[in-house]
Amino acid sequence: MAYKTIILEKKNGVATLFLNRPETLNAWNSEMTEEASDAINEIGKDENTKVLIITGAGRGFSSGADVRQELAKVAEGASGTIFERIIQGKPSIVTIALQLRRMDKPVIGAINGIAVGAGFSVALACDLRIASERAQFSMAFILRGLIPDCGGTFFLPKLVGSARACELIFTGDIIDAREAERIGLVNKVVPHEELMKATEELANRFVKRPSIALRYAKRAIYKGLAEGDLPSHLDYEVSLNRMCMDTEDFKEGVRAFLEKREPIFKGR
């Protein structure tokens, strides 16, 4: 499928989705939302793709919702905005966040520059985040008279705690990559020119892991975070592991340990 506002590349089990509106620092409009949603669905169904990297073209990761094309229309009472799409259940920034969390594959955010508003929320919806030293983060919703959407109020407190989340959300302040790393918002900060190399190296490690076990591990992590009931979660882990034990990858993992070699997993 040909895309205009995103770039989708696939190589050796890794798909990389570039948000591609660099003239707006990759601000989300309806077209980019639809295309990103279609691409994520495509990746989810692609058995040859094991990991998704999402990043931005140009100088920014994403500056959030397009103020000129979207927010200005809402303020003027116009129809057909990205927020009406949310209400109507059509592909939107909100559904992008949900798609990323529901994807049964690891999703890594390569934060190459500014991540503001909905751009910040989409970064939070990724499973892991590697940041360039040039990255900056801001929950700028409050500065537009709004509250965070796309899961911002759901994801952020779980990563940095409620008090720190309140500070970032109530002020809309910008923090740099090192501060984001210090408070646990990103996994790692690397020199800007090494961002994609470092992210791809991590993605390639995941490609070599058993994909069925990765799928179930992701499900278990987010189920536990959302529900928080330990006894039922212990049962859930056991049920998932029972299914893992029926896989060829489980048998290969045991054989490799006994034979003192690296396992070769095949996703079966």
Token pair, residue 20, equals: 């591609």
Taking the domains of the chain in order of start, what are their residue ranges? 6-207, 211-258
Mean pLDDT of 103-129: 97
What whole-number distance in Å separates Cα of residue 58 and Cα of residue 25?
A: 7
What whole-number distance in Å separates Cα of residue 165 and Cα of residue 40?
A: 28
**Domain 211-258, CATH class in plain words:** mainly alpha
Q: What is the pLDDT of residues 55-89, one digit of tens each?
A: 999 999 999 988 665 655 665 655 555 666 666 66
- 6-207: in CATH 3.90.226.10: yes
Q: Quote the pLDDT of residue 114.
A: 97
Of residues 115, 98, 111, 108, the one with CA closest to residue 16? 108
Of residues 21, 46, 51, 45, the one with CA closest to residue 33? 21
DSSP bridge pairs for 8: 17
Q: What is the pLDDT of residues 146-198, one digit of tens each?
A: 999 889 999 999 999 999 999 999 999 999 999 999 999 999 999 999 999 99
